[in-house]
Amino acid sequence: MRIREFEWDDGNEPHIELGHGVTPEEAEQVFAIRPLVRRTTQGRYVAFGPSMGGRLLTIVFEHKGAGLARVITGWDMSPAERRYYRERSRNR
Protein backbone atom coordinates (compact mmCIF):
# COMPACT_ATOMS: atom_id res chain seq x y z
CA MET A 1 0.00 0.00 0.00
CA ARG A 2 1.46 3.30 -1.07
CA ILE A 3 0.17 6.50 0.58
CA ARG A 4 0.91 9.73 -1.28
CA GLU A 5 -1.72 12.11 0.04
CA PHE A 6 -3.39 12.85 3.37
CA GLU A 7 -6.84 14.12 4.28
CA TRP A 8 -6.68 16.57 7.20
CA ASP A 9 -9.52 18.69 8.57
CA ASP A 10 -10.68 20.46 11.73
CA GLY A 11 -11.47 17.10 13.35
CA ASN A 12 -8.46 14.87 12.90
CA GLU A 13 -5.69 17.47 12.93
CA PRO A 14 -6.33 18.92 16.42
CA HIS A 15 -7.20 15.47 17.80
CA ILE A 16 -3.83 13.95 16.95
CA GLU A 17 -1.83 17.05 17.90
CA LEU A 18 -3.58 18.23 21.06
CA GLY A 19 -4.79 14.85 22.25
CA HIS A 20 -1.64 12.83 21.61
CA GLY A 21 1.19 15.28 20.97
CA VAL A 22 1.81 14.05 17.43
CA THR A 23 1.97 16.68 14.70
CA PRO A 24 0.38 16.00 11.31
CA GLU A 25 3.86 16.31 9.80
CA GLU A 26 5.21 13.57 12.08
CA ALA A 27 2.27 11.33 11.21
CA GLU A 28 2.94 11.80 7.49
CA GLN A 29 6.66 11.14 7.97
CA VAL A 30 5.90 7.63 9.24
CA PHE A 31 4.61 6.77 5.75
CA ALA A 32 7.77 8.07 4.07
CA ILE A 33 10.08 5.59 5.80
CA ARG A 34 8.50 2.25 4.79
CA PRO A 35 6.11 1.69 7.68
CA LEU A 36 4.90 -1.65 8.93
CA VAL A 37 1.16 -1.65 8.14
CA ARG A 38 -1.53 -4.03 9.31
CA ARG A 39 -5.31 -4.07 9.09
CA THR A 40 -7.42 -3.80 12.25
CA THR A 41 -10.52 -5.82 13.06
CA GLN A 42 -12.56 -2.62 12.54
CA GLY A 43 -11.39 -2.35 8.92
CA ARG A 44 -8.94 0.48 9.50
CA TYR A 45 -5.18 0.29 9.23
CA VAL A 46 -2.33 0.84 11.66
CA ALA A 47 1.09 2.06 10.52
CA PHE A 48 4.10 1.58 12.77
CA GLY A 49 7.28 3.50 12.08
CA PRO A 50 9.64 6.33 12.93
CA SER A 51 9.22 10.02 12.27
CA MET A 52 12.16 11.87 10.69
CA GLY A 53 13.18 12.82 14.23
CA GLY A 54 13.36 9.16 15.24
CA ARG A 55 10.17 9.11 17.29
CA LEU A 56 8.53 5.67 17.04
CA LEU A 57 4.84 6.24 16.29
CA THR A 58 1.66 4.25 15.85
CA ILE A 59 -0.73 5.87 13.35
CA VAL A 60 -4.32 4.67 12.83
CA PHE A 61 -5.78 5.62 9.45
CA GLU A 62 -8.44 4.89 6.86
CA HIS A 63 -7.29 4.05 3.36
CA LYS A 64 -9.50 6.05 1.00
CA GLY A 65 -8.03 4.54 -2.17
CA ALA A 66 -5.82 6.06 -4.87
CA GLY A 67 -3.00 6.68 -2.37
CA LEU A 68 -5.15 8.81 -0.02
CA ALA A 69 -5.16 8.27 3.76
CA ARG A 70 -7.21 9.92 6.49
CA VAL A 71 -5.32 9.80 9.76
CA ILE A 72 -7.66 9.00 12.64
CA THR A 73 -5.23 9.14 15.56
CA GLY A 74 -1.66 8.42 16.55
CA TRP A 75 0.60 8.07 19.57
CA ASP A 76 4.08 7.09 20.69
CA MET A 77 4.51 3.33 20.44
CA SER A 78 4.01 1.42 23.66
CA PRO A 79 6.73 -1.04 24.70
CA ALA A 80 4.64 -3.91 23.27
CA GLU A 81 4.15 -2.04 19.98
CA ARG A 82 7.90 -1.37 19.80
CA ARG A 83 8.64 -5.09 20.21
CA TYR A 84 6.05 -5.97 17.54
CA TYR A 85 7.50 -3.35 15.16
CA ARG A 86 11.11 -4.44 15.67
CA GLU A 87 10.35 -8.16 15.34
CA ARG A 88 8.28 -7.74 12.17
CA SER A 89 10.63 -5.17 10.62
CA ARG A 90 13.58 -7.55 10.83
CA ASN A 91 11.79 -10.08 8.63
CA ARG A 92 10.99 -7.69 5.77
Give the model confidence (pLDDT) of 35-44 as tens digits.
Answer: 999 999 988 9
Q: By CB neighbour count within 10 A (0-12 exposed, 13-18 middle, 19+ buried), where does 82 fall? A: middle
Domain that holds residue 21: 5-90
The mean pLDDT value for 50-66 works out to 95
The mean pLDDT value for 65-82 works out to 96
The pLDDT of residue 38 is 95
With a cut of 80, say whether residue 3 has pLDDT above it.
yes
- The phi and psi torsions of 14 (rounded to 5 degrees) equal -65, -30
With a cut of 80, say whether residue 92 has pLDDT above it.
no
CATH number of residue 46's parent domain? 3.10.450.530
Domains in the chain, number:
1
The pLDDT of residue 2 is 87
Give SS3 for 6: strand
The mean pLDDT value for 64-73 works out to 94
Digit-coded pLDDT (tens) for 6-32: 999 998 899 899 888 999 999 999 999
